[in-house]
Structure 1
Amino acid sequence: MSKYDVFELVTHVRKCPDLFFKSSSFLAKEGLNSIALLCDTYRTVSGNFLNTIFKIPSGDHLKAIGENHWRAIHISTWLLSHQDFKNASFAEEKLYDFWFEELRHASPYVKFNEWVSDDERAEEMVRLLLNCCQILPNGENPEEAADKLSSLNSAERHNVLKKSYKANERIMDIKRQMEEKRAREAANTYGRE
């Protein structure tokens, strides 16, 4: 298949082994060594297996990362093991932003296993990575890629639902106030008669 084919990458994510679902060693005694996983991914993507310097947050920041976010990062390292990302050194500098910004924003709205079990969430992860690395998916123009990512984006969808909920609450509050006013007016009219 062509490089950076969304369907192929989604299929790869969906085959993620259960091992990547484990907690981080920062959170569980028997967890995955997340730092080793990140370093190995940096090496695979850069093609430089002798590299020992990687862009990774400091110890306190690493400990502050929640379990769901860590597991999303672990699953994303599986995605990055796909052949399209091997020796893709141009993407190496973008990985930090993908792991510690993009996935941080999405993680509160997506349970880690949904990145693998749900087609739309798997596609969201793929598109977040491609967008962050400034890679245009095979067969798509920039507008199509942006539109598809926007339609899948969990954080944006949550914000839209939140705004919709607040608007609905305002409408219900106005209706309640109008009904109370009508009831008061009716009571006043009845009291005068």
Structure 2
Amino acid sequence: MKRIRLKMVRKDLLDIPQYELPPGFRMRLFEKGDEHHWARIETSAGEFKDEEAALERFNKEFGADIDEMTRRCVFIENENGDVIGTTTAWYGDLKDDGEISGRIHWVGVVPDYQGKKLSKPLLSAAMNILAEHHSKAYLTSQTTSYQAVNMYLNYGFEPYIAGPSCEEAWDLLENVLNRKIKATGSDKQLK
């Protein structure tokens, strides 16, 4: 499948779907030093070539705000206390206009635990955190993560159409997911 980057928006943070973790798992917030867990998870999920590159990106994006990570980054641990999933309820500027929105950032679950009903509880937890600080949210993804995109759609995120590559991405995803998507999309506006 062609890999095309895309953005999605959720115009409010009301009525967030709630999912509980399966037995044997627990959630916790980031603690200083957890950047190594974050790097391992994101590397294993295919986001980076190695953990060194992941740590470099972590430090670039979050290093100056490490205290904020203790309130906004969520981890899942298995019954042995191994950290196996993460996402961050971060913030950003979707349109480069200075308006700050909540952002679902870097969702990742190690491959051995993918498909074990962990992503929805992880996303619910992050969105609940966002709702404490923001009134709307966005995220970035790519067409090759079509299963995640399908989950985001089910959570009320909509396509953010900002150009021809966006149209191509959503046409591709409509075919792959066998569902109408673009009719609900945002047309460059996050209201």
TM-score (norm 2): 0.33
From the two aligned structures, give the one with the greater strand fraction. 2
Higher relative contact order (CA 8 A, sep 6+): 2
From the two aligned structures, give the one with the greater helix fraction. 1
TM-score (norm 1): 0.33
